[in-house]
Amino acid sequence: MSTTFSECPKCHALNKLASDKALQKTPVCGKCGSELALHGLVSEVNSSNFKKVILKAEGPVVVDFWASWCGPCRSYAPEYQKASLQNQQAVFLKINTEAEQQISAEYGIRGIPCTILFRNGKEVKRQSGAMSAEQVKQFIS
């Protein structure tokens, strides 16, 4: 069974969700019952939950470092979301580099969008620039 993670916007609990169930209905927090924000199977993360997710995930974790002012980031977003739906064995995350400057600095993000693949909590590869959903699939394998 494939899973993804989402932090509750209300109580900040980290929720592990079955991917198929998250797609069938609106997922809710297991702690407080609030609606969880997912875009496809993509979750926005921050400094408080990013490392928790990459350490808890059983499979690959794909992270898109982006910013709202970045044109290529905006064009990449729908392809990234599409890739999340086609590759449910992976966890898909997004990190806003404007809001999370510490994480961006820690991972040496110099250009965006930048996609990093993690396995077992460790970075295994990265790709700068926008990709198609098919290119994201190849990037994961």
Task: From first to last of the 141 residues of the chain, give the pLDDT tens digit.
Answer: 588 888 888 888 888 888 777 777 788 888 998 888 776 688 888 888 899 889 988 899 999 999 999 999 999 999 999 999 999 889 999 999 999 999 999 999 999 999 999 999 999 999 999 999 999 999 998
Task: Confirm whether 126 is domain-assigned.
Answer: yes
Edge-to-edge order in the sheet of strand 42-44: 42-44, 91-96, 61-66, 114-119, 122-128
Cα-flanking dihedrals φ and ψ of residue 16, to 5°?
Answer: -100, 125
Task: Confirm whether 2 is domain-assigned.
Answer: no
Task: Confirm whether 124 is domain-assigned.
Answer: yes
- Cβ distance 62 to 93 under 8 Å? yes
Task: Confirm whether 60 is domain-assigned.
Answer: yes
Does the annotation count 70 as an active-site position?
A: yes
Does the annotation count 73 as an active-site position?
A: yes
Residue 28: C-alpha distances to residues 18, 38, 122 (Å): 12, 10, 29
CA dihedral (9, 68, 83, 25) positive or negative: positive
Task: Confirm whether 84 is domain-assigned.
Answer: yes
Catalytic residue among 8, 29, 70, 114: 70
Task: Confirm whether 95 is domain-assigned.
Answer: yes
Among 35, 70, 50, 46, which residue's Cα sits nearest to residue 118?
50
Place of tokens 């910013």: 67
Catalytic residue among 8, 11, 32, 73: 73
Task: Confirm whether 98 is domain-assigned.
Answer: yes
Q: How many domains does the structure of the chain reveal?
A: 1
Record the pTM: 0.84
Task: Confirm whether 53 is domain-assigned.
Answer: yes
Distance of alpha carbon 124 from alpha carbon 83, whole angstroms: 19
Amino acid (1-letter code) at residue 132: S
CATH number at residue 84: 3.40.30.10
What range does the domain containing 113 cover? 40-140
Place of tokens 């297991």: 30
- Cβ distance 80 to 137 under 8 Å? no
